[in-house]
Amino acid sequence: MKKIPFFLAVLFFVSNAWAQELSVEEIVSKANNRSYYQGKDGSARASMVVTDAQGRTRQRQLTILKLNIQEGGDQKYYVYFHKPNDVKGMTYIVWKHAGKDDDRWLYLPAMDLVRRIAASDKRSSFAGTTFLYEDISGRSIDLDTHELVSSDAAYYTVKNTPKDANMVEFSYYTVKIDKNNFVPVKAEYFDKSAKLYRMIEALEVKDIQAYPTVTRMKATDLNANSHTVTEFSDIKYDVGLQEEIFTERFLRTPPQQWLKE
Amino acid sequence: MRRAFFITLAVLTLVLPLAHAAELPEWHGFAEHVYAGRISRDSLTKHDNYNILEQRLQLKTRYAVPGENFLSRWNGVLAYKGDFVLDEYFQTSGSYEVRELNLIFSPASMVDIKAGRQVLTWGTGDYLFINDLFPKDYVSFYTGRDDEYLKKPSDALRVSLYPKAANIDFVLIPHFIPNTMPEGDRLSFFDSFQRGIAGRESERNAVKPAFQAGNMQYTLRIYRTFGSTEGALYYYRGFDPAPRSYLDEAARRLFYERLDAYGASVRGPFAGGIGNLEMGYYRSRQDDDGNNRLIENSMLKWLAGYEKDLGNDLKIGVQYLFEQKLNYAQYQSALLPNDYFWDEYRHLFTQRITKLYRNQTVMLGLFNFWSPSDKDGYLRASCAYDISDQWKLTLGLNVPWGEDGITDFGMMQKNKNAFVRVRYSF
């Protein structure tokens, strides 16, 4: 095992000591930026396998392009479906807004149809998987109140309670955040009777272009006894995405250079 | 269409050798079985107990032009989609339809060109079209084929420009392709020559405009977003896609009168959902003043729509369409005693409910058209189940109804059916 250089060890110790003193808002904000706002932009290929209670599997493969408009706030997403084959070529754009409903467009190539999607419910399934829209594009941290429930040598555990309980199906959720890099490694959702019914876990974290990145994650629905594992590949940050990618032009004519099969 | 087959073959032979990089295109598509049994017997059509029975094989591919030629520098992509159909209703030997065969490329950063056979759609309506005057297949719509087949392809050149101020789509369609409308063999319909709902005995025919320079169709859309709201202006110069005018009454010949359309639309977030407004002015160029009883008058159309996500994978949508026949006094005074006539105003409401179950693998859909002025309507219900990533089963109902046999849905009242589609995608 390599020796850790002394100054790094000191740095680690010092930063850890600082981290101890972070407020819960700072922790949540750092974790949120880590999960959803790294780099100016990014691209990745996501392969999702949905397994139902009977063990049957379904596959989703998509390319996701992401552009940060404002850190911790507005973002634009472009999604291209590679699989399943019956939706291959379908594209999807989201303009994520902080504080109001997202704008979403779906393009169905068979009909050359651009549909505007009314989507105020962000807690519906993403493309038929166990992940919800909010898991993919992030839940605004302003929607919950945050409470640091524990802090050990390696993890913070934050309890998040919705400000408006009628908007969501959970009563609260806890998130375990790695102290070293602020990567959320596990989220647990509790229903109105405080029973755990849903989990999201980071199964693998890698440094990509120096950004700690979750490369494999799993969502489990304990009620339905089903789960989805998502593997990200070809992850790239700061690729130089232009804002025009996220418009009707590229919805209808997918940008070839970003969508290698 | 044997000719289309050989054209495709020729193009593929030309393009495939370009695949020297051993990067052969992937082929995808589906095989599908469709059957629709009539809910009520209709002795007017070729078969009295069903109106569709067919097997379909769709193959499609996309091919990014490789290498260092000008087309690859322009991000050239060749797209092909074709259907082989065994139609057991007409007992034909099988047919082949090219739905897409086009080349997409960007010769400059602000320009996209799509040339060849393609499906074209724009506008804001849901199953209602004002400024989308591209050809449609209403026989597919009423018999229970997939929604994809409501849209017919056009042979067109589409030039899209993206300057800062607004985006511009210009489409040139040299060869007129009309809507596919019920003609009596498969679906009975109102035939004024037969003085009522007619089937196989219908002898009317529609004369298409000749393929010549003066009959080219042009259409234009200028659009942009204002924050989250989309605005668009439309222009169309061509022909009515449905044969609504009489060329020769004695010979039972109809024709597609010349039509100009000017329109506008907005769509954006509204009251917790998505709202849209669209209008169009149809100018009937061959009967501008409305005095010719044989030619369709000019029209004014307005559409308002609203869609909302109620949560738990439940979505609802409502629309209201208002149509006004212009120069109505002239139209009335030009009518002859035995002529059928249509009202000045038409009001049409639609409602859509979509609910997903079982992790979005089961979809229940209900779409209703209802016109209080025409006293008719059309209920479309469907249930689709994604059995796996490959297999999909769809069951559905088409129930058009009406008090009169001359209105849009009322004339279809004998064509009520229940359909089943089984599809294997690959």
pLDDT per position as a tens digit, A164-183: 998 899 999 999 999 999 99
pLDDT digits (tens, 9 = 90+) for A234-257: 999 999 999 999 999 999 999 988
Supply the mean pLDDT for chain B: 93
Hey, CA dihedral for B148, B149, B154, B155, is it positive or negative?
positive
C-alpha span between B196 and B406 (Å, rounded): 7
- What are the backbone angles phi and psi of residue B45, rounded to the nearest 5°? -95, 175
Q: How high is the pLDDT of residue A60?
A: 96
Contacts of A119 in chain B (CB under 8 A): 309
Of A59, A86, A224, which has the smallest distance from its Cβ to B392's Cβ? A86
Average pLDDT over residues B40-66: 92
| Closest chain B C-alpha to A180 CA, distance in angstroms | 36
First to last CA, chain B: 25
Q: How high is the pLDDT of residue A11?
A: 54
Sequence-separated contacts (24+) of B191-198 with Cβ below 8 Å: B192/B340, B193/B249, B193/B252, B196/B405, B197/B44, B197/B405, B197/B411, B197/B413, B197/B414, B198/B44
Q: B228 and A103 in contact by Cβ < 8 A?
A: yes
Q: A58 and B77 in contact by Cβ < 8 A?
A: no
Please state the separation of Cα A100 from the chain's center in Å: 19
| Closest chain A C-alpha to B89 CA, distance in angstroms | 25
Q: Is B187 in contact with B51 (CB distance < 8 Å)? A: yes
Average pLDDT over residues A74-89: 95
For residue B22, pLDDT over 50 is answered with no
What is the reported pTM? 0.91
First to last CA, chain A: 39
Q: How high is the pLDDT of residue A1?
A: 42
For residue A18, pLDDT over 70 is answered with no
Contacts of A113 in chain B (CB under 8 A): 121, 151
Q: Which CATH architecture has domain A6-256?
A: Clam (2.50)
Q: How high is the pLDDT of residue B1?
A: 47
| Closest chain B C-alpha to A114 CA, distance in angstroms | 8
pLDDT digits (tens, 9 = 90+) for A21-67: 789 999 999 999 999 999 999 999 999 999 999 999 999 999 999 99
Local structure of residue B74 (DSSP, 8 states): T
- Name residues whose C-beta falls within 8 Å of residue A16's C-beta, 6 or more positions apart in sequence: A179, A180
Q: Is B52 in contact with B32 (CB distance < 8 Å)? A: no
Please indicate whether residue A20 or residue B200 has the higher confidence score (pLDDT): B200
Rounded to two decimals, the ipTM of the complex is 0.92
All domains of chain B, ordered by start, with CATH? 34-51+104-425 (2.40.160)
Cβ of B254: how many Cβ atoms within 10 Å?
A: 20
Q: How high is the pLDDT of residue B42?
A: 82
Q: Which amino acid would we find at residue B125?
A: G
pLDDT digits (tens, 9 = 90+) for A174-208: 999 999 999 999 999 999 999 999 999 999 999 99
